Amino acid sequence: MADASVQSSRSRDLDKLLLRPGNLVGPRFEPGPEMRDDLQTYARVLVVGAGGLGCELLKDLALSGFRNLEVIDMDRIEVTNLNRQFLFRLEDVGKPKAEVASKRVMERISGVNIVPHFCRIEDKDISFYNDFNIIALGLDSIEARSYINSVACSFLEYDSDNNPREETIKPMVDGGTEGFKGHARVIMPGITPCFECTIWLFPPQVKFPLCTLAETPRTAAHCIEYAHLIKWNEVHGGVAFDPDNPQHMKWVYDEAVKRAELFGIPGVTYSLTQGVVKNIIPAIASTNAIISAACALETLKIATECSKTLSNYLTYNGAEGLHTKVTEFERDKDCLVCGPGVLIEVDPSVTLQKFIDLLEEHPKLRLSRVSVTHRGKNLYMQAPPVLEEMTRSNLSLTLFELMGKLSKDVVNVNGTTTKNDQKISCLRKLSVVFKGIDGVTDMDTAGGA
C-alpha cells in the first residue's frame, strides 16, 4: 500500500499531462494510463554527459516517468566538480562520473534503470546510438555536440522527393550553460535546424598571438597557453598533446606555474589550466537546473506528444534579472550534415580504396582516416585493429559490388577533418551515384575512374 501511495504521489503532476486531453497535443496523443505505462516501458533515452547539466538531466528525466536511461561520459570526478554536480560526494573523487551519477539516481528513485558508459563518445559504434528513441545532450564542448549531431543525422533518410522519412528521424534535445546564461533546443534532423546549421551561434574561441605568449605574457591564461602550445612541442617533439590525459594536463599545469612565477603573474591553478586548454565554460548550479528542466520537458513532449515541442531555440539570461526568449531558426537546406547527403558520382570500376582517396581530395569533405558503412554493414573500418584487418580485403573490391550493384544509394563515412586549425572527428552522409548505370549521366565533379 505504501509503495502504491508513493508511486501515485510521484506521478501526480505527470498524470495531469498524460491522462487528459488538451488543445496543444500532437496527432498521435491518446490520454490515459497506457500512455504513462508505455513511456515507462518502451521509451529509451541516452544522456550524453554526466557533468553539471548531465546530473540534473538524469534526475529530471527519472522523475518525469522515464525508466530506461543510459548515460555516457569519459570524465572522472574532481574536487572542483562538487560545488555544482550535486550527485557527487567527496569520497567519489577519482571515480567515473557516469557510474556514480547512475548509482545515485537509482538509489533515490525506485524503478528507474540507468546504464552507465565510461568511455569517449567516439568509442561507441554508430549503431549504439540508433538504439535510443531520443538523445539528450548535456555537453560543454562544441566538438562533442558536433559529433553527436552528425551521428544522429547519419540515420536520417530521404525519399525520392527529398523529404525526410519520419521513421528515420532521431530527435535530440540539446542544453548548454555558460555562467548565468543558457540555452535549450530541439533538433529534429531534416525538419528543424541541426547543430551544424546554426554553428554560427557559437562565438569563435579566443586565440592569443604566439608572440605575446612567447615574449610578453600578461595573464595566467597566457602562461597556460605558452606551456600548451609552445613548450609542449619543444619538449615532446612529435607526441600529440591529449587534453583528456591527466599526466599531460598536469605537465602543462606545472610548466604554466613556472612561467607565471618567472613573470610574476598570479592565478595559475589546475582548474584554470583545464578550462583554458579544453575551453571549459564556467557553470552555475541554478542555471544548470533551469536549462535541465526545459530539456526534460521537451524530451517528455517528444516521447508522448502531450504538447507541441519548442520551436526551436530557447535562450535564458539570468545575469541581470531574468529574461527568456524563443527563436525559431530555419534549417539550412544545403547543410552537409542533415541534408540528403553530398552527391558524389563515381565510375562503377572505382575501388573502395580509390573512393576513400577521393574523399580526402573532395573540396566539401577533406576527410582523412575514413571508415565506410553501407546500410549498417562495415565496408572498411580504420579501428579497432581487429575490424580493420577484417575489412581490409574490401579495399581492392569495387564500391559498386560492395553496395550490392545498386545504381545509387547512401553511404555513411566517418573520418577526421580540420576545423579552426583543429582536427576533429566527423560523420558525413554521401549520396553515391554510379555513372552509366540505369541511364545515370554526369551529375557531379567528384569524378573517379
Catalytic residue among 55, 119, 197, 211: 211
Tell me the residue type at 224: I
Q: Yes or no: say if 292 and 314 are a contact pair by the CB < 8 Å rule.
A: no
- Per DSSP, the three-state class of 424 is strand
Could you write out the DSSP letters of every residue in 89-156?
-GGGTTSBHHHHHHHHHHHHSTT-EEEEE-S-GGGS-HHHHTT-SEEEEE-S-HHHHHHHHHHHHHT-
Q: Yes or no: say if 355 and 411 are a contact pair by the CB < 8 Å rule.
A: no
Active site residue 211: yes
- Per DSSP, the three-state class of 211 is helix
**Cα(240)–Cα(8) distance, integer angstroms:** 55
Which conformational region is residue 268 in: left (phi greater than 0), alpha (psi within -120 to 50 degrees), or beta?
Answer: beta
Other CB atoms within 10 Å distance of the CB of residue 238: 5
- Read off the C-alpha cell for 393: 580485403
What are the C-alpha distances in Å from 2 to residues 345, 375, 419?
A: 66, 50, 57
**Residue 29 CB partners (closer than 8 Å, separation 6+):** 21, 35, 304, 305, 306
Residues tagged active-site = 211
